[in-house]
Each structure stands twice: as C-alpha cells, then as structure tokens.
Chains A and B, each alone.
Chain A
Amino acid sequence: ETGVTQSPTHLIKTRGQQVTLRCSSQSGHNTVSWYQQALGQGPQFIFQYYREEENGRGNFPPRFSGLQFPNYSSELNVNALELDDSALYLCASTAVPNTGELFFGEGSRLTVL
C-alpha cells in the first residue's frame, strides 16, 4: 500500500511569485486535505477536496486554491506569495465515509524570501 507522497520536499520562492505543491493520496483514499503549519504551531486547515470539488475551506484568502484530479491526486496553488506563507504544507488523505482520521505526507517546506 502506497502512502501519501508530496513534492517538492523543499523549495524557495521570492515574494510575489506563485507556487504549486503536489500530493498523491494513499491508495483507496478519495479525499484530500491541505494544511499549513508555521514553525512552532499546530497545522491549520486550508481546504479539503472530495470527488474533485472543494468540500470545506478554512480561513485562508482566495490566493490559496486547489485542484483534485480523477485519480484523487491534488495540487495546492498559492499566488502572490507573502513572507508569512513560509511554512510546512501538509497534505493528508482519507477515505469517505470516514471518522476524520487522516494519513499525512511528509510535507513541502516553502520558504518565501
């Protein structure tokens, strides 16, 4: 069974640029969630995708957007990067119906200069 994989693992961008992060969900999982974790903080929910539709969204501005593909993989796009976007971005998958237990990838660490 393949776990959740994310790419890239690390990247550096400058303020104002755009970034795309990718996630492959665990085999058999059709729901993908994205979280942002700033240094020393707990993860913050960005949004969730189920059957290629956004199924829930946290308190993040519209410049954070996502996609889910028919194979359940997902992308997180962030436009007009700000310094405060520097964080570990975590993707998690689960099956529906579910109790909320999430299976996380290792994350993509984004640094914005």
Chain B
Amino acid sequence: SQQGEEDPQALSIQEGENATMNCSYKTSINNLQWYRQNSGRGLVHLILIRSNEREKHSGRLRVTLDTSKKSSSLLITASRAADTASYFCANYYNQGGKLIFGQGTELSVKP
C-alpha cells in the first residue's frame, strides 16, 4: 500500500499546549499537504510544503519536511478547544492528480 502512517493515532492535550503530529510516507513526493477534518465532515486544507522546502509556517501551524527520512511533522502552537479534529497528511502525486492520505491523528484539546 502507498498509504503513509501517522503518529500518534490519538492525542489529548490541554488548551494552550502545543500539539505535534508526525507523518511518514513511502514513495517520493511532489508536495505534502496537511488537512483537517471535523467529526466526519469535509476536509479543509491547512498547509502545503513542496519537496524542496524544509519548513513552512502559517499562523499557529508549523510544518517540517525531511525527504531523506520520508517524514513530515505538523506543530500546532497554543492549541484551542476549537482545534479538536482529525488531522491528515497527504502526498500529492502528479500522475492522475491523486492525494494519498495517511490514517490520521485524532486531536482532542480540553478546555
């Protein structure tokens, strides 16, 4: 299977703490993306990092990419209860335009 793995599968933290989620993938990538999903609803794109980039920031989000280890991490700083959701990483393949998603990390932020 081409599907990557995310860890942890579930993460529970207090409001104000930082949350770190990791993602590993199996093949070379064009870019790697992170999406958020609230309780079985549609996915929302958070951030995209290209294969020639190592770090990217967007608001309270920080993404890193290590192509030698085929891994990425998503850091959410100063978490809020509203950040409670599932977070997915996805590799983008230029051929056929498909995204290969990981299994996701379920984040719970307690007030």
Contact = CB atoms under 8 A, between A and B. Distances in A.
Given A43-B43, A56-B98, 12 more contacts: A4-B42, A43-B99, A45-B99, A48-B98, A55-B96, A99-B50, A99-B92, A100-B33, A101-B33, A102-B45, A106-B41, A107-B40
A100 B50 CA distance: 11
Interface in B71-91: 88, 90
Interface of B: 3, 30-31, 33, 35, 40-45, 48, 50, 88, 90, 92, 94-104
B50 to A, nearest CB: 8
B97 A109 contact: no
Contacts, number: 73
Interface residues of A, number: 30
Contacts of B31: 99-100
A42 B36 CA distance: 11
A58 B96 CA distance: 9
B45 A107 contact: no
A44 B103 CA distance: 10
Contacts of A98: 97
A81 interface: no
A108 B33 CA distance: 23
A67 B39 CA distance: 29
A79 B95 CA distance: 27
A104 B42 CA distance: 6
A48 B30 contact: no
A33 B97 contact: yes
